[in-house]
Amino acid sequence: MSATEPSSARITALDILDVRFPTSEHLDGSDAMNPEPDYSAAYVVLRTDAGDGLEGHALAFTTGRGNDAQAAAIATLSPHVVGLSVEEVCADLGGFSRSLVHDPQLRWLGPEKGTIHMATGAVVNAAWDLAAKRAGKPVWRFLSDMSPEELIAQVDFRWLSDALTPGESLEILRRAEPGRERRVGHLLDQGYPAYTTTPGWLGYSDEKLARLAREAVADGFTQIKLKVGADLEDDVRRLRVAREAVGPDIRVAVDANQRWDVQPAIDWVRALAPYDPYWIEEPTSPDDILGHAAVREAVSPIKVATGEHIANRVVFKQLLQARAVDIVQIDSARVGGVNENIAILLLAAKFGVPVCPHAGGVGLCEMVQHLSMFDYVAVSGTTEDRVIEYVDHLHEHFVDPVRVTDGHYLAPTLPGLGAQMHPESLKEYSYPDGPVWSARRIRLSSMSPSVCGIRNRSDGT
């Protein structure tokens, strides 16, 4: 049999690229904890000798400095991936995920948290992208077509069984089986509800905030989000501006990006309460379960949401057990990939808490939409009080960018996870020597030393 026959095909390379976008120039993505982010991707390509031209693409998202460290962490996984059978990896994605997560030496760097776990997630997601492409399906449909038993096989239940067992998970999935095809049809016809953070970056003027908020409502969004946490007086004014722009019937969420201790969070949110914020996102440290519970009790009926910086399924489990959150926010690139996100979706379903993913960034919208759509079809069976975050940044760099119409994500139809970027974008924005960054260095070097110094802190040089 030829070496290029599918049954003997091997993964031949794990390519890693450091790709960064200078979003700090216009303060896109700015918030109280990340005032000048450069949206970046430690970008992964799984290559094979299958002869079908298919590759697995995914990424770990960062905000600039440290993207090289994230790429280096991904590279440590290469010896565990290169040489594996393509067919065996794609047939047992749960086993592949566990083989990386439970490496007896690399796991010491977590375990299951931080840069090494995000590296695992990037490689696992690339494997899902490859498997779905080989099946000719977008990942949301690839997952939704699996049987409950096949889905259970994807999940690592270690450390979860006091809150969620395989048997309970099987019951959740079986209850959702009736109506799967109807829900698939609904997604294809109408899409999945979205909300937008585009108006709310902290560096935007009040005029820009109001204009973008009105545009969001005109575009069909029923929820927007504002960044808060730098200055209380500014936040009260900005929330008033947003509320006046959108009226009383549009939900306005606020996001502190972990800025506060517990009591300041409570005091700050109470000061914003007259303008009816729908949720407060990341009010304090993502690891502080009891702190979130205290904030939730004190600010109700304003909801508490968190998740984009939560390291693993165990912390999500504890937040749910402690009744510390009203909204679970999964992230496609923070935890250990699709497999661990299935576990988190099942946990949320067990506790009856809606999931509203974190997105934006680079490629996060493209990837996480698949998880919410799978949740609707095969896990929760509902979109009630569920929305996917949308930010209108950088989608033009992707082969299969998100499509948002009338405030809804349209269901992807191309095979894969959606993370594949155009070769030209990878070349232009490669760091530090791509044309965009080379030109930026030349431009900054011609500025005064004080200006150059400020900007250089932003771009990592």
- Biggest alpha carbon distance in the chain? 71
Count of residues making up the chain:
461
Q: Burial-class residue 272 by CB neighbours within 10 Å (0-12, 13-18, 19+).
A: buried
Are 285 and 308 in contact, with CB atoms under 8 Å apart? no
Backbone φ and ψ of 453, nearest 5°: -65, -40
pLDDT in tens, 297-342: 999 999 999 999 999 999 999 999 999 999 999 999 999 999 999 9
Residue 31 has a pLDDT of: 76
Active site residue 227: yes
The pair of structure tokens assigned to 216 is 């969001």
Q: Which of 117, 225, 227, 303 is catalytic?
A: 227
Residue 35 has a pLDDT of: 76
pLDDT in tens, 209-227: 999 999 999 999 999 999 9
Q: Residue 6: which pLDDT band, with cuts at 50, 70 and 90?
A: low
Active site residue 393: no
Strand pairing partners for 416?
138
Characterize the bridge pairing of strands 277-281 and 251-255: parallel
Q: Is the pLDDT of residue 446 over 90?
A: no
Percent of the chain with pLDDT over 90: 90
Give the closest residue to 22 by CA, choosing from 443, 440, 448.
440
Q: Is the pLDDT of residue 169 over 60?
A: yes
pTM for this entry: 0.94
pLDDT in tens, 271-283: 999 999 999 999 9
Q: Is the pLDDT of residue 454 over 60?
A: no
Question: Rounded mean pLDDT of the chain?
Answer: 94
CA 307/CA 66 separation, integer angstroms? 21
pLDDT in tens, 34-55: 778 899 999 999 999 999 999 9
Residue 114 has a pLDDT of: 96
Q: Residue 1: which pLDDT band, with cuts at 50, 70 and 90?
A: very low
The pair of structure tokens assigned to 9 is 């095909």
Query: What SS3 class is residue 351?
Result: helix
Q: Which of 133, 358, 370, 408 is catalytic?
A: 358
Residue 345 has a pLDDT of: 98
